[in-house]
């Protein structure tokens, strides 16, 4: 039985979710089962539309109530994240999936929807053979220390600063 590793994709640059989804595509291409949990996000982005075609290999669930980045999270945001963590814990225990992706879980942590203890325990409870990916800005040092692979995306330049908003199929 092969060991599954813990990946962390963090930093202020673009590409964290994209890197995780690339791994999901590779896993599906190898016949592996993938579960993607998206925290914080509540909109259906273009990647969802693409992944529907791979629904026999990839399952996705949103654990976000709405985009609260410009305001404080409310009780529903907290409830959605905590409910997600409990559901995903059961998914991990079931060992049904070869790869579990926790997209934007670091943002959920950063905005106090989840505790550091929750994150650490979750990583420690990962079954030996399951690969796990955690994404989002602001990964705490303790999480990066526990991970097997850490990649930091760094923004050098972005057209957003020139007033270009998200473009469907490219940025969202």
Q: Read off the pLDDT of residues 108-119 as tens digits, 9 standing for 90 and up.
A: 999 888 999 999
* Predicted confidence (pLDDT) per residue in 128-153, tens digit: 999 999 999 999 999 999 999 999 99
In contact, 80 and 65? CB cutoff 8 Å: yes
| All structural domains of the chain with their residue ranges | 6-162
In contact, 34 and 101? CB cutoff 8 Å: yes
What pLDDT sits at residue 47? 78
* Predicted confidence (pLDDT) per residue in 6-32, tens digit: 999 999 999 999 999 999 999 999 999
**Could you tell me the two tokens for 16?**
């964290």
Averaged pLDDT of the chain = 89
What pLDDT sits at residue 75? 81
What pLDDT sits at residue 50? 83
* Predicted confidence (pLDDT) per residue in 38-92, tens digit: 987 666 677 777 888 888 999 998 887 665 555 677 788 788 888 888 999 999 9
Is the pTM higher than 0.85? The answer reads yes
Nearest Cα neighbor of 71 from 43, 40, 49, 95 is 40
Judge whether residue 4 has pLDDT over 70.
Answer: yes
Residues with Cβ < 8 Å from 68, sequence gap 6 or more? Answer: 40, 74, 77, 111
Confidence of residue 37 (pLDDT cuts 50, 70, 90): very high
Nearest Cα neighbor of 127 from 95, 90, 103, 101 is 95
Confidence of residue 167 (pLDDT cuts 50, 70, 90): confident
What pLDDT sits at residue 127? 97
CATH of 6-162, one of 2.70.150.10, 3.40.50.1400, 3.40.50.300, 2.60.40.1220: 3.40.50.300
Residues with Cβ < 8 Å from 70, sequence gap 6 or more? Answer: none
């Amino acid at each position: 039985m092969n060991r599954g590793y813990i990946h962390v994709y963090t930093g202020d640059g673009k590409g964290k979710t994209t890197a995780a989804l690339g791994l999901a595509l590779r896993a599906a291409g190898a016949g592996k089962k993938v579960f993607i949990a998206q925290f914080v996000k509540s909109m259906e982005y273009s990647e969802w539309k693409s992944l529907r075609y791979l629904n026999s290999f990839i399952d996705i669930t949103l654990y976000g109530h709405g985009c609260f980045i410009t305001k404080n999270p409310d009780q529903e945001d907290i409830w959605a994240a905590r409910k997600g963590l409990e559901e995903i814990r059961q998914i991990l225990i079931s060992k049904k999936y070869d790869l579990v992706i926790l997209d934007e879980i670091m943002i959920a942590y950063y905005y106090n929807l989840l505790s550091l203890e929750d994150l650490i325990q979750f990583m420690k409870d990962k079954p030996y053979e399951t690969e796990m990916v955690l994404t989002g800005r602001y990964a705490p040092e303790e999480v990066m220390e526990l991970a097997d692979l850490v990649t930091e995306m760094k923004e050098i330049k972005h057209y957003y600063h020139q007033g270009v908003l998200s473009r469907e199929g490219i940025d969202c």
